[in-house]
Chain A
Amino acid sequence: MRTIIILILTLCMATATFAQTATLALKISQKERATVEDAVILFVQVTKGITQVKTEQLIEQGLLPKGVQADTPLTKGILAYMIAKQTGITHSLMFNIFKSKRYAVSACIAAGYLPPNSGEYDPVSGVELLEVLGRLGGE
């Protein structure tokens, strides 16, 4: 009986969290400026299928640049750093050595995730975030 209840609760929770992905995408698409939290939540959904993650955990693991908070406005540098660190792309020799946001942007441009004219401090809108992550997890 206990197992059945746990199973039902787990299924309900899975359905509830899964239903958030499209709603979240709609919500983010309306933002003129995405935040680090938006990027982190959507990124783990796209790459790992995980729906619950805390920004602080990723900062502790060194997967986000130091000094950023969940509500920090997202820049292409921060987004590229997260992508380059998490996916382990080897498209930039300089990023492999220095691990900086600037070279992460170069690595992501070379990998085709960011457009060629991207800069480290460029702001990222909600739709731009969806575009980049759509390419990242695209089939």
Chain B
Amino acid sequence: MKFFNTLLITVVVFAFAASPLFAAITVVSVKGEALYSDGGAFKPLQKGQQLKEGTRIQTGAKSQAVLDIDGHIVTIKQLTLIKVYKNIAKKDESTNSIGLKYGSINAKVKKLPQVKTSFLITTPVATSSVRGTEQNVSFGPGFGMQVTVPEGELLVQSNGENKKVGGNLEYNKGQDDPRSGDLTQGMQNNFIGQMAPGNLTPEEQQMLNQYGDQLVDSTQTPADVLDKAGGAATVNVNLTWPID
């Protein structure tokens, strides 16, 4: 009997080892409240639950759900609705596709050796394709699709337009925009906000903290500013490198 049990366990272990990948969507954690629907009515999402392809998930306020999709970790932020469109895993291929209807998600996609990995996040305006990296994607009717990539790089496709996003670049595409915005826009805003803080007097620093955004109209682009400039001006620039 002992020999039979050992044999059975060995067979089971080898069976799983022979196929290193099998499609699985597992709920890692649920903070606050999240609901899921696999075609019917929405029901509360539980930690440890297994989900099927085609499942929709809605998170509530101050809530978050974390999914393990074939080893890739997807964090669904608050007030977000997603649908897992595709979850296919074969021996040498892992294909996953998530539809983001509204809200924001973070995806950490593992690059598995000898496995062709495709992990798509689709919104109504564009699709981002990620492999072996991390990305934050948000979508809504006001701001459109926004993609940032804390680690690695990815490709965002929309209307035949391909944009490679990585580093400090940020992808932005409004719902009605035919093309995506300038990838460096977020970086420019950050640079404007952090300009030479070490050289400001305490009064200037206080003024900047309180009314900083009044000094730079956030709806203006650098091109708008340059268009309005006339005549010559002398500008003293004090560059400090590296920045503390």
Contact = CB atoms under 8 A, between A and B. Distances in A.
Interface of A: 18-26, 29, 42, 45-46, 49, 90-93, 109-111, 114-118, 125, 127-128, 130-135, 137-139
Contact of A134 (B33, B34, B78, B219): B78
B103 A90 contact: no
B interface, size bucket: 20 to 34
Nearest to B81: A29
A23 B35 contact: yes
Interface in B174-220: 174, 210-211, 213-214, 218-219
B77 A25 contact: no
18 contacts: A19-B33, A22-B35, A25-B60, A42-B61, A45-B62, A46-B79, A92-B213, A93-B214, A109-B218, A116-B219, A127-B102, A128-B141, A130-B140, A131-B79, A134-B79, A134-B80, A134-B138, A137-B61
Decide if the interface of chain A is mainly helix, strand, loop or mixed. helix
Contacts of A24: 60
A94 B114 CA distance: 59
B140 A133 contact: no
A25 B79 contact: yes
Contact of B219 (A25, A109, A132, A133): A109
B58 A25 contact: yes
B143 interface: yes
A45 B60 contact: yes
